[in-house]
Amino acid sequence: MEGFLFRPFFIVALIKLLIMPFLHLYDNDIKHDFYPLTVNNHIMDLKLGLLTIRDKWKYLAAKQQINLTVDNSPIHDSSKGRSISASYLPTSELNLLDFLHSEQSPETFGLRQLSNLWDLTQLNAWSIHQDISILGLTDSSTSVPAHVKRLGNHAIYLGKDVVLEHCTLNTTDGPIHIADHVQIMDGASLRGPLSIGNNSIIKMGATIYGGTSIGEHCVIGGEIKNSIINSYSNKSHHGYIGDSYIGSWCNLGAGTTCSNVKNTLGDIKLWNIHQNKFNTAVNKVGVFMGDHVRTAINTSINSGTVIGPFSNIFEFSTISSKYIPSFAWGGKSTVRYELEKLLSETEKWMAAKGQSLDSIKKDTIRTLYLQLNKN
């Protein structure tokens, strides 16, 4: 009897699946334009706002009962659905059914496009607003303790077991999102639009300005503005990071500071690894740092600096080079991190956060190391 009841339900579900339109997300077309962040990541897995690009589309598709498929390349058969490059960011109001059945450009539907590294930071504040709406978060401003100083009229979104000490939450310019098990220590000043991920700690006296996203399991101190710091990274001490993108598992030594503006207020140039040349950006650009990068105390990072993943930087108490390759040792020379030393130290850093470097991750790092150090 149970099989009889199950079979019609299964058939209905299968029919729904077959008739639901497909949206196809791909990102191989722009991978090279976002080095060093995509040396070991897909662009769709880069975070801005509260979510990665992949998750923005995933949540939106699930809400609207649209099938989402993911691959490196677009599909060319329109009967199978519509392809969209992961360089496009959806709005919370996007009607996916209308989008799928239209031949109009994504811009017509209000989508924003990432074309350059610096677009990630320039669109982060906008993305925070959109992601809050995509996730359907509920304003919990009334749960903010009385001892917390509050300013502004935008919403505050609090997760579970958030610890708010005597800090300041300023929502004059945008909302503040604080996820589960976050601790905001006394004296910290937070200004929206801002997002802080699960299990992160904002230390005493930290100053975090709008347009900033902090990932999960981060420890944050000092001053940060309009920047994205990915999960398991530390900027625990004083120093300034502005208009920058910091990968996962990075550790910025005390006093590490980046420039994000030239003395002339002119446009800043960034090194494009794929094109092997400098490209002119805008007049506010900090550092774009890949995963697993560590900087020594008092490291001074030039505006528009690009740092490849798995680098150990300790030679720049004055000002850094504009381009530091992946697996760099020190930063000034062509010396590379010794592979086994890198693996051992990466394992220690991950263990310090309660994570492990398993054999699969080790093999991935080894393969990448050999690919990038053939000569």
Rounded-to-integer distance, Cα 213 and Cα 215, Å? 7
| 251 Cβ contact list (under 8 Å, min separation 6) | 233, 234, 293, 294, 295, 349
In this predicted structure, the answer to whether residue 14 has a pLDDT above a threshold of 60 is no
What is the pLDDT, as a whole number, of residue 255? Answer: 96
CB 269 within 8 A of CB 281: yes
What is the pLDDT, as a whole number, of residue 103? Answer: 85
Rounded-to-integer distance, Cα 154 and Cα 270, Å? 35
For residue 102, name the pLDDT band (cuts at 50, 70, 90).
Answer: confident
Name the packing angle between helices 359-372 and 339-352 (round to 10°).
140
Greater confidence (250 vs 102) lies with: 250
Q: What angle is formed at CA 228 by the lines to CA 69 and CA 51, rounded to 5 degrees?
A: 30
Rounded-to-integer distance, Cα 278 and Cα 102, Å? 38
Residue 283: CB atoms within 10 Å: 14
Query: What is residue 293's three-state secondary structure?
Result: coil
In this predicted structure, the answer to whether residue 232 has a pLDDT above a threshold of 90 is yes
Could you give the domains of the chain?
Answer: 19-115 (no CATH), 141-337 (2.160.10.10)
In this predicted structure, the answer to whether residue 4 has a pLDDT above a threshold of 80 is no
> What is the sign, positive or negative, of the torsion defined by CA atoms of 69, 72, 73, 74?
positive
Say which residue the tokens 């990915």 belong to: 230
In this predicted structure, the answer to whether residue 135 has a pLDDT above a threshold of 70 is yes
Rounded-to-integer distance, Cα 139 and Cα 161, Å? 16
Q: Taking residues 207-223, what's their average pLDDT?
A: 98
Question: What's 30's DSSP letter?
Answer: G
What is the pLDDT, as a whole number, of residue 19? Answer: 54
CB 166 within 8 A of CB 184: no
Rounded-to-integer distance, Cα 219 and Cα 242, Å? 17
For residue 10, name the pLDDT band (cuts at 50, 70, 90).
Answer: low
In this predicted structure, the answer to whether residue 12 has a pLDDT above a threshold of 60 is no
Residue percentage of the chain with pLDDT more than 70: 93
Amino acid at 104: Q
In this predicted structure, the answer to whether residue 20 has a pLDDT above a threshold of 80 is no
In this predicted structure, the answer to whether residue 169 has a pLDDT above a threshold of 50 is yes
Half-sphere exposure of residue 80: CA atoms within 13 angstroms, side-chain side: 10
| 13 Cβ contact list (under 8 Å, min separation 6) | none
What is the pLDDT, as a whole number, of residue 13? Answer: 46
Rounded-to-integer distance, Cα 1 and Cα 156, Å? 51
Supply the pTM of this predicted model. Answer: 0.92
H/E run at residue 276: none
What is the pLDDT, as a whole number, of residue 373? Answer: 82
120: tokens are 């990630």
Of 32-41, 115-124, 132-141, give the lowest mean pLDDT range. 32-41
